[in-house]
Structure 1
């Protein structure tokens, strides 16, 4: 081999390795979609599709038998509800199709946006690997966050669909501010911005911060700013006109959202420590260009995240991807940045080691495809068993029936069409949520009499109860015993 062939072969291998690794990640996620592991909010999204497939215009509350709006009734979920209604497919089949669309949007969106930052052929693959693996040595899962394990559990959620749209949105915004795009292009961007915000409000905030950074970095002319203002006005109008819920009322959401999001501010080093490599890359980018869009994006994300922690608005922590994503992308792009080859190789080695640590942390994701039994013991220890679900009650419990259940089953039962007395998730539009939760607590309390339980059941139209064996007594007839010794009871008149 001649001296001129060796660098060429090395460069080719350097391009192919991340591309092959990224392709394997995508294949893994496609296989996960087939299994569709259940943990977290899957039941909420399945219930939302259930309600829309039965009544597109007035679906009511997705979890309890109440006529309230819901922020889950987004344009994307409305489309999925139409698909379920027209085809008659199970909501879980529809969610698998939604996951496939969302994953396609995400992968192509990352590719398109990274192309606005680097022309190097390996850049998109490196970026995808950094987005899914450059996290920390302690596993972290949350919707709207792009870790591999988190993606595996949330790929069918509206948050992943919104993230996919977001990367495409950023690519279009970047090109629009660079080329002084037409009025029509900017108005389309206003529509897309509103769509992202309606589909997943927290991801919409991340999309907005990223777009703002790209506009600031471009320092556009006044003509572009006028078109941007028109796009924003159109987007705000669409948000105001959306009929399924009042978007702007979400800004006054209750304290329940703050309590749920407080954990986002805990164990930051363990969950996100590897991202510090990206912060170092951002410092290098800042030295090269003080108007670098990723640096500005990161700064805006850090400011909002910090403001949430300092003021007690912990739900603002959902803007953390606005700090993570630019840092992760910067770490990947530094491998293909201009400069001395030895520096790039050294950076590639450090990034490769960090990605290996992140991949090992999330190795349990393989279990969502193979099952625990097929995993080596060291990997099996990292695997989180998905929820079993409540399909075992469906031969008796029909669509629209009200089931008395504690919080954990209440997060799953509505996926099959039934309602629960109290919602399994905070609901900012359900005025009597606290009263309902108190009623459920009284019903399952050890000292509650059979007569009081019967009164609670009558008040909320309860036909079924899912609870422990110890609940058996007058007014309840045992129908079926399910996993973990849970019992389905019929409420007797």
Structure 2
């Protein structure tokens, strides 16, 4: 039991408790959040892009050297074929484990790298033991009161749905890279040691290009934030790291990395990143204030510099209509979240009490706003009770009823939002891709063919022409939708699913 001591001699546990953040509660709360994410890794909730990453594994397992497009039957490269996914496909092929089992292992690896990455980076920013668990809580809970889930953007809700994605692994590696870079410049590592930093940066860029852009901004901020600025010897090491990073980017065989620069077609789906900003990110404001305090003490504070760089890119994207630039959001969120944790853990006196109270209130608000993630692991009745009280991102029903009947490699025609994003996870192709594809030259034509098939004015001959053109063997459509009727001689009903969905086999074209 701590002794009753007053003033500055008061034990740290008691001092932190008075600040509104009991020291013993921080590791417990951080552990609980990590445990919840561990359950997510095992549960693997399905919403968003999980089907895309499962499809990537399916294609690599089928043909490791020439997998082709992951969603449609076309021989094109894809930026989704990253070193991490190739490694997972090799693991799946060697062990015979199912695609979703391997994705669960990927989620565990991503969670491990993320947690250890937060710890490694925070240790370079603060000597206080409370800083790490507080930083982890801030990273997970401090966004806003409006649910927001996007790959590469850290929050409890977002990570619960994206743990298995390469973006989570890339974010964990980015935090590790920043921590190693701070050590490298502070300890004046020798030039050859910087080659490892270059390889790590290249791995991040190849695994998730948007997170790679955030990683590069962070490297620039941590280099410019060093006091004094790097010596000529350190700049030589940085040059080595840059040269080594370029080699894998130029040599990666699965897609031309630099062809992604300025690729068209990505801005439309990213416009939601610029909507409802206050509701999505209001709880980050205390972190922005903490960044301001750090900037006043040090005009080249690396966290403040990273925030400024991220804000500049994000703002430029909004003003110019390049909505895809909004994917640098982690460059704004992470430094603000870490700054608040570090400042709160190291505060003293009246400032400690104020910061502790503000941080505790923000964390509790964030926890309540994101309490809907509990529905992903609770029993059905309990989950329903939670959904009545807090908002949640709904999960998608798995389409096994249809996927079990369609053989891998067969082409399915559908315009159903969920089917387009889920069926390729089990091996089939779709006529049109669910997502924009910068390497698919006939993407627009495929989308138009799908629209034409389901257009009310299209003749039977026109619909049969679409089936022949793309080698369609199966049609998945909802009852009442335009298209060939289930009793058409060219089709044979094979299964009925929820919501009036029917799986039809094409028997004549």
Query: TM-score category by the smaller chain?
Result: over 0.9
Which residue among 169, 189, 201 is the counterpart of 1:193?
201
- The yes-or-no answer on 1:10 pairing with 2:18 is no
1:393 corresponding residue in structure 2? 402
- Separation (CA, whole Å) in 1 of partners of 2:278 and 2:393: 22
2:424 corresponding residue in structure 1? 414
- The yes-or-no answer on 1:113 pairing with 2:121 is yes
1:334 corresponding residue in structure 2? 343
Q: CA deviation at 1:8?
A: 4.7
- Separation (CA, whole Å) in 2 of partners of 1:207 and 1:2: 46
Residue aligned with 1:34, SS: helix
Residue aligned with 1:463, SS: strand
Q: Deviations over 1:172-217 (max 9, x none)?
A: 0000011111222200000000000000000001111011100001
2:165 corresponding residue in structure 1? 157
- Root mean square deviation of aligned Cα: 1.5
Question: Aligned pair in 2 of structure 1 residues 283, 460: CA closer, same or farther (>3 Å)?
Answer: same
Q: Deviations over 1:268-315 (max 9, x none)?
A: 111001111111101111111111111111111111111111111110
Q: CA deviation at 1:35?
A: 1.4
Question: Please, which moves more after superposition, 216-225 or 370-379?
Answer: 370-379
Q: CA deviation at 1:412?
A: 0.7
Question: Aligned pair in 2 of structure 1 residues 9, 64: CA closer, same or farther (>3 Å)?
Answer: closer
2:232 corresponding residue in structure 1? 222
- Separation (CA, whole Å) in 1 of partners of 2:326 and 2:188: 34
Q: CA deviation at 1:12?
A: 7.3
- Separation (CA, whole Å) in 1 of partners of 2:233 and 2:469: 61
Contact kept in structure 1, 2:147 and 2:393, CA below 8 Å:
no
TM-score computed with the length of structure 1 as normaliser: 0.97
Gaps of 5+ in 2: none
1:325 corresponding residue in structure 2? 334
1:359 corresponding residue in structure 2? 367
1:251 corresponding residue in structure 2? 261
Residue aligned with 1:411, SS: helix
- Separation (CA, whole Å) in 2 of partners of 1:285 and 1:88: 52
Q: CA deviation at 1:469?
A: 2.5
Contact kept in structure 1, 2:375 and 2:386, CA below 8 Å:
no
- Separation (CA, whole Å) in 2 of partners of 1:258 and 1:144: 17
Q: CA deviation at 1:376?
A: 6.8
Q: CA deviation at 1:359?
A: 1.0
Contact kept in structure 2, 1:275 and 1:327, CA below 8 Å:
yes
- Separation (CA, whole Å) in 1 of partners of 2:195 and 2:116: 22
Q: CA deviation at 1:358?
A: 1.0
2:59 corresponding residue in structure 1? 51
- Separation (CA, whole Å) in 2 of partners of 1:230 and 1:100: 32
TM-score computed with the length of structure 2 as normaliser: 0.94
Residue aligned with 1:274, SS: helix
Alignment of 1:56-135 (within 5 A): 56-135=64-143
Q: CA deviation at 1:346?
A: 1.7
- The yes-or-no answer on 1:472 pairing with 2:473 is no
1:427 corresponding residue in structure 2? 437
- Separation (CA, whole Å) in 2 of partners of 1:184 and 1:416: 45
Q: CA deviation at 1:450?
A: 2.4
